[in-house]
Chains A and B, each alone.
Chain A
Amino acid sequence: MKLKLKKVFTNWKVILLLIFLVLAIFSMRPQILGNDGVTIRSVAQNSSAANAGIENPSAKVVPVAKEKIISINGKKIIDLVDYYAELNQLAVNRSVRIETNRDIYNIRTTQEANLGLTVYNAPTSNIRKGLDLEGGTRVLLKPEEKISDEDLELTIDNLKERLNVYGLSDIVIRAASDLRGDKFILIEIAGVTEDEVKELLSKQGKFEAKIGNETVFYGGKNDITYVCRSADCSGINPNVGCSGSDGGYACQFFFAITLSPAAAERQADLTRNLKVLTEENEGYLSDDIVLLLDDIEVDRLRIGASLKGRATTDIQISGSGVGRTQEEAVTDSLQNMKKLQTVIITGSLPVKLEVVKMDTISPSLGKEFLNNVLLVGLLVILSVVTVVVARYRKIKVVVPMILTLLSEIVLILGFAALVGWNLDLAAIAGIIIVVGTGVDHLIIITDETLMGELIYDWKKKIKNAMFIVIGAYLTTMAGMLPLLWAGAGLLKGFALTTIAGISFGVLIARPAFAAVIEILLKE
Chain B
Amino acid sequence: MKSKIKSIYEHKYKSLLFIPFVVLILAFVQIGTQYSVTGDFVNKGISLKGGSTITIDYDAKINLDELESFLSNQFPLADFSIRTISSAGRTTSIAIDSDAQENDEIDILLGVIKEHTKLNDDAYTVETMGSSLGDSFFKQTAIALLIAFFLMGIVVLIYFRTIVPSMAVILAAFSDIVVTLAIFNLTGIKLSTAGIAAFLMLIGYSVDTDILLSTRLLKRKGEIMSKVYGAMKTGLTMSTTTLSAVFVALIFVQSDVIKQIMIILFIGLLVDILMTWIQNVGILRLYLEKKKR
Contact = CB atoms under 8 A, between A and B. Distances in A.
A387 B258 contact: no
Interface stretch (A8-16, A311-319, A464-472): A464-472
Interface in B176-212: 193-194, 197, 200-201, 203-205, 207-208, 211-212
Majority-rule SS of A interface residues: helix
A376 interface: yes
Given A193-B122, A358-B103, A440-B242, A488 B133 contact: yes
B197 A387 contact: no
B222 interface: yes
27 contacts: A179-B143, A356-B130, A357-B130, A360-B125, A360-B126, A364-B123, A365-B55, A365-B123, A369-B255, A372-B254, A376-B253, A384-B241, A387-B244, A436-B245, A439-B245, A440-B241, A451-B233, A467-B215, A472-B207, A472-B211, A475-B203, A482-B141, A482-B148, A486-B137, A487-B141, A488-B137, A498-B201
A97 B252 CA distance: 47
A60 interface: no
Given A140-B133, A437-B208, A487-B137, A482 B253 contact: no
A359 interface: yes
Contacts of B136: 178, 180, 182, 487
Contact of A476 (B123, B203, B230): B203
Interface stretch (A31-39, A73-81, A160-168, A424-432): A424-432
A436 B133 CA distance: 31
A429 B257 contact: yes
A179 B143 CA distance: 9
Contact of A369 (B208, B221, B254): B254
A196 B204 CA distance: 42
A326 B233 CA distance: 72
A444 B133 contact: no
A357 B192 CA distance: 14
B72 interface: no
Contact of A443 (B122, B126, B141, B234): B234
Nearest to A486: B140
Nearest to A491: B197
Interface of B: 55, 87, 103, 122-130, 132-133, 136-137, 140-141, 143-144, 147-148, 151-152, 155-156, 159, 193-194, 197, 200-201, 203-205, 207-208, 211-212, 215, 219-222, 230, 233-234, 237-238, 240-242, 244-249, 252-255, 257-258, 261, 265
Residue of A361, A363, A480, A486 ringed by the most chain B CB atoms within 10 A: A486
A243 B291 CA distance: 89
A361 B125 contact: yes
A472 B204 contact: yes
A428 B258 contact: yes
Contact of A379 (B159, B221, B252): B252
Interface in A347-395: 354-365, 368-369, 372-373, 375-376, 379-380, 382-384, 386-388, 391
Contacts of A479: 144, 148, 151-152, 200-201, 203-204
Nearest to A385: B241
B130 A380 contact: no
Given A426-B194, A439-B245, A480-B200, A486 B141 contact: yes
A150 interface: no
Interface string A418-459: 000000011011001101110111011001000111000000
Given A384-B245, A425-B258, A365 B197 contact: no
A490 interface: yes
A372 B87 contact: yes
B122 A380 contact: no
Contact of A383 (B55, B140, B244): B244
Contacts of A358: 103, 126-128
A359 B241 contact: no
Contacts, number: 221
A305 B247 CA distance: 78
Q: Which 5 A-B pairs have the closest CB atoms?
A: A487-B137, A478-B151, A482-B144, A476-B204, A356-B130
Contacts of B127: 358-360
B133 A475 contact: no
Interface in A177-220: 178-180, 182, 193-194, 198
A266 B262 CA distance: 65
Contact of A444 (B123, B151, B212): B212
B254 A439 contact: no
Nearest to B260: A429
Interface in A313-357: 354-357
B152 A475 contact: yes
B103 A355 contact: yes
A254 interface: no
Nearest to A441: B208
A504 interface: no
A376 B207 contact: no
Contacts of A362: 122-125
Contacts of A379: 248-249, 252
Contacts of B253: 372-373, 376
A180 B155 contact: no
A119 interface: no
A356 B132 contact: yes
A359 B126 CA distance: 6
Given A474-B155, A476-B203, A443 B237 contact: yes
B190 to A, nearest CB: 17
Residue of A444, A464, A471 ringed by the most chain B CB atoms within 10 A: A471
A494 interface: yes
A490 B194 CA distance: 10
B44 to A, nearest CB: 13
A437 B238 CA distance: 9
Nearest to B207: A475
A436 B205 contact: yes
A483 interface: yes
